[in-house]
Amino acid sequence: MAKPGKAENTLVLNAGSSSIKFAVFNSQLEEKLSGIAAEIGGASFLRVAGDDTAIPFIDHRAALKAILSALAENGFPVSSMRAAAHRVVHGGRKLTAPVRINQDVRNEIAACSPIAPLHNPHNLAAIDTLTELQPNLPQFASFDTSFHSTNPDVATRYAIPKMMETSGIRRYGFHGISYASLVRLLPEVSDEPLPSRLLAFHLGNGASLCAIKNGQSIATTMGYSPLDGLTMGTRSGGIDANAVLRLVEDNGLERTKAILNHESGLLGLSGGKSDMRKLMLDHTADSDFAIEHFCYWSLRHAGSLISAMEGLDAIAFTGGIGENAIGVRARILRGLEWIGARMDPDANHRNATRLHGETSKIAIWVVPAREEEMIARDALSLLAA
């Protein structure tokens, strides 16, 4: 158990709709402890350093109080924290870089809640509860949307009347913290300069692609919300707007939201499985089709982003599926052989960092997802400034 010392640690909080992930980093950005309060409002439990304890959490406030208590029991009381740093999904047009949270920032996060109703309210719940419990602790926010603020207007503007576009109906893009971390880590992982034209695959329960040119996002598959783009664990991905309107006519607005966000994607295609690991072990026609659908639409969107960059120098996989699903990576890379990508099958099977063979014209890498570390790094950079 760690001994309490001076305030040198950073607490990272990632609040979702029914969970709060947490991690503690020291001043050298070494992770000292991590865990999750899960199934908030249901059969909830607290996991700390891999050990689970069943605890009833009626809401996010109760879960956060339990997290702080557990941290203290493990030698990391709030007095050891220099700062708390939050993942906030949506920063809108104004919050386009990591920032220290004050009342104005908090109000802007709240103003983005209508365009991220499944995410921002829960991010705010963690911020507000920590403010109430520890009012003197500096808090910072990193935004999933901010990495994509470099997208050109032609990439973000929907072809709708300007009055609607200026009210916030535009493409924002998400998974930005993951992509920012990938851009920072890839030169370390590869021992090479960052490729000029990089196609990044963030593949997990939520999935997206990003075209990264000279270190900046110029296009991505998610749009106004994290629902758009690829086939995902429970999200439909891209769907015709008139099909959505038909679903609303037939099922009502709230039911349609549930269908598209929580009952579609791999879950809907397979008839009940959203976890790629389970799908790959279940060799039924429905499961095989769901995997193929996931790979097919990843490739369809990959072609679009390669065109946006006018070529390709490297590919990088990250996220739970990207880092671990050998068969998914192999299927996607077979579909990109037309552009000169050649996978080393043995390296892929070993889950190696470098996946490209000697004859490949395209470098192919696997980069670990370190979003929590990136959030802590953002906070420490702002503290130093």
Q: Where in the chain is the domain with CATH 3.30.420.40?
A: 9-143, 192-371
* CATH number among 3.40.50.720, 3.30.420.40, 3.20.20.140, 3.40.50.12500, domain 192-371: 3.30.420.40
* Active-site residue identified among 52, 104, 128, 144: 144
More confident residue, 300 or 164: 300
Pairing of strands 51-54, 31-38: unpaired
Q: Is 132 left (phi over 0), alpha (psi -120 to 50) or beta?
A: alpha
144 catalytically annotated: yes
What letters, b where the CB count within 10 A reaches 16 and e where it falls short, cover 300-338? ebbeebbebbeebebbbbbbbbbbbbeebbbbbbebbee
Q: What is the pLDDT of residues 62-90, one digit of tens each?
A: 999 999 999 999 999 988 899 999 999 99
More confident residue, 166 or 382: 382
Average pLDDT over residues 31-51: 93
CATH number for the domain running over 9-143: 3.30.420.40
User: What span, in angstroms and rounded, lies between the C-alpha atoms of 224 and 208?
Assistant: 13
pLDDT at residue 4 is higher than 60 = no
pTM of the model: 0.93
Average pLDDT over residues 153-173: 89
Give 304's contacts (C-beta < 8 A, 6+ positions apart).
219
Listed range (96-105, 159-168, 270-279, 373-382) with the worst mean pLDDT: 159-168
Q: What is the pLDDT of residues 242-301, one digit of tens each?
A: 999 999 999 999 999 999 999 999 999 999 999 999 999 999 999 999 999 999 999 999
